Chains A and B, each alone.
Chain A
Amino acid sequence: MKKNDVKILASALYEASKDKKGKELDKVIGNFSAYLSQHHLVAMIPAILVELENIHFLKEGIVKAYITSSLELDKTEIKNIVDIVKRKIKQEVVAKTETDESIIGGAVVKYKDKIIDMSIRHQLNNLAKQLSN
Chain B
Amino acid sequence: MSYDHLVKSLQKQLEDFQSDVKEEAIGEIIEVGDGIAKVSGLSDVKSSEMLEFENKVGEKVYGVVLNLEEFSIGAIILGEYTSLREGDKVKRTKRILEVPVGEAVVGRVVNPLGQPIDGKGEIKSNQFYPVEKIAPGVITRQSVFQPLETGIKVIDAIIPIGKGQRELIIGDRQTGKTALAIDAIINQAGKDVICIYIAIGQKESKVARIVAKLEESGAMEYTTVVSAGASQSAALSYIAPYAGCSMGEYFMDKGKDVLVVYDDLSKHAVAYRQISLLLKRPPGREAYPGDVFYVHSRLLERAAKMSEELGGGSLTALPIIETQAGDISAYIPTNVISITDGQIFLETDLFYKGIRPALSTGLSVSRVGSAAQKKAMKKVAGKLKLDLAQYRELEAFAQFGSDLDDATRQQLDRGARVTEILKQGQFNPISQGKQIAIIYAAANGHLDKVLVTSLAAFEQKLFSKMESEGKDILDNIEKTGELVEKDEQKLKNIINDLVELEVKVGEDKK
- Residues of chain A having any CB pair with chain B under 8 Å: 88, 110, 112-118, 123, 125-127, 130-131
**B25 — which chain A residues lie within 8 A by C-beta?**
113-115
Known contacts A127-B17, A130-B13, A130-B17: A116-B27 contact under CB 8 Å: no
Distance (whole angstroms) from the CB of A99 to the closest CB of chain B: 19
> Looking at the complex, which one of A88, A113, A131 makes contact with B27 (CB distance below 8 Å)?
A113
Most buried by B among A113, A114, A131: A113
Contact B13–A131 (Cβ < 8 Å): yes
Number of interface residues of B (CB under 8 A): 17
Contact B22–A116 (Cβ < 8 Å): yes
Closest to A122 in B: B21
Contact A126–B13 (Cβ < 8 Å): no
**B406 within 8 A of partner (CB):** no
Rounded to whole angstroms, the CA-CA distance of A127 and B41 in the bound complex is 28
**B394 within 8 A of partner (CB):** no
> Looking at the complex, which one of B19, B20, B24 makes contact with A114 (CB distance below 8 Å)?
B24
- Residues of chain B having any CB pair with chain A under 8 Å: 13-14, 17, 19-27, 40-43, 58
**B22 — which chain A residues lie within 8 A by C-beta?**
116
Nearest 8 pairs of A and B residues by beta carbon: A113-B41, A115-B26, A118-B21, A123-B19, A115-B24, A116-B23, A114-B23, A113-B42
Contact A114–B26 (Cβ < 8 Å): yes
> Looking at the complex, which one of A88, A117, A130 makes contact with B24 (CB distance below 8 Å)?
A117
Rounded to whole angstroms, the CA-CA distance of A115 and B28 in the bound complex is 12
**B23 — which chain A residues lie within 8 A by C-beta?**
88, 114-116
Closest to A133 in B: B13
**A113 — which chain B residues lie within 8 A by C-beta?**
25-27, 40-43
Distance (whole angstroms) from the CB of A83 to the closest CB of chain B: 16
16 pairs, A vs B, C-beta closer than 8 Å: A110-B26, A112-B41, A112-B43, A113-B40, A113-B41, A113-B43, A114-B23, A115-B23, A115-B25, A115-B26, A116-B21, A117-B24, A125-B58, A126-B20, A130-B13, A131-B13
Closest to B40 in A: A113
Distance (whole angstroms) from the CB of A123 to the closest CB of chain B: 5
Rounded to whole angstroms, the CA-CA distance of A127 and B42 in the bound complex is 26
**A117 — which chain B residues lie within 8 A by C-beta?**
21, 24
Rounded to whole angstroms, the CA-CA distance of A123 and B17 in the bound complex is 10
Distance (whole angstroms) from the CB of A84 to the closest CB of chain B: 11
Rounded to whole angstroms, the CA-CA distance of A110 and B23 in the bound complex is 9
**A130 — which chain B residues lie within 8 A by C-beta?**
13, 17
Distance (whole angstroms) from the CB of A1 to the closest CB of chain B: 12
Most buried by B among A110, A112, A114, A116: A114
Distance (whole angstroms) from the CB of A107 to the closest CB of chain B: 10
**A115 — which chain B residues lie within 8 A by C-beta?**
23-26
Rounded to whole angstroms, the CA-CA distance of A38 and B53 in the bound complex is 42
Most buried by B among A110, A112, A115: A115
**A131 — which chain B residues lie within 8 A by C-beta?**
13
**B21 — which chain A residues lie within 8 A by C-beta?**
116-118
Distance (whole angstroms) from the CB of B280 to the closest CB of chain A: 13
**A125 — which chain B residues lie within 8 A by C-beta?**
58
Known: A110-B26, A113-B41, A114-B24. 17 other contacts (CB 8 A): A88-B23, A113-B25, A113-B40, A113-B42, A114-B23, A114-B25, A115-B23, A116-B21, A116-B23, A116-B24, A117-B21, A117-B24, A118-B21, A125-B58, A126-B20, A127-B14, A130-B17
Rounded to whole angstroms, the CA-CA distance of A126 and B23 in the bound complex is 15
Distance (whole angstroms) from the CB of B39 to the closest CB of chain A: 10
Rounded to whole angstroms, the CA-CA distance of A118 and B41 in the bound complex is 20
Rounded to whole angstroms, the CA-CA distance of A112 and B24 in the bound complex is 11
**A88 — which chain B residues lie within 8 A by C-beta?**
23
Contact B26–A126 (Cβ < 8 Å): no
Rounded to whole angstroms, the CA-CA distance of A130 and B17 in the bound complex is 8
Closest to A130 in B: B17
**B19 — which chain A residues lie within 8 A by C-beta?**
123, 126
**B58 — which chain A residues lie within 8 A by C-beta?**
125
**A112 — which chain B residues lie within 8 A by C-beta?**
41, 43
Rounded to whole angstroms, the CA-CA distance of A126 and B19 in the bound complex is 8
Distance (whole angstroms) from the CB of A51 to the closest CB of chain B: 12
Distance (whole angstroms) from the CB of B58 to the closest CB of chain A: 8
Distance (whole angstroms) from the CB of A34 to the closest CB of chain B: 29
**A126 — which chain B residues lie within 8 A by C-beta?**
17, 19-20
Rounded to whole angstroms, the CA-CA distance of A113 and B72 in the bound complex is 12
**A110 — which chain B residues lie within 8 A by C-beta?**
26
**B14 — which chain A residues lie within 8 A by C-beta?**
127
Rounded to whole angstroms, the CA-CA distance of A131 and B14 in the bound complex is 8
Rounded to whole angstroms, the CA-CA distance of A126 and B27 in the bound complex is 20
Rounded to whole angstroms, the CA-CA distance of A131 and B27 in the bound complex is 28
**B40 — which chain A residues lie within 8 A by C-beta?**
113
**B26 — which chain A residues lie within 8 A by C-beta?**
110, 113-115
Closest to B19 in A: A123
Rounded to whole angstroms, the CA-CA distance of A77 and B9 in the bound complex is 38
Distance (whole angstroms) from the CB of A80 to the closest CB of chain B: 15
Rounded to whole angstroms, the CA-CA distance of A115 and B92 in the bound complex is 12
Closest to B91 in A: A115
**A127 — which chain B residues lie within 8 A by C-beta?**
14, 17
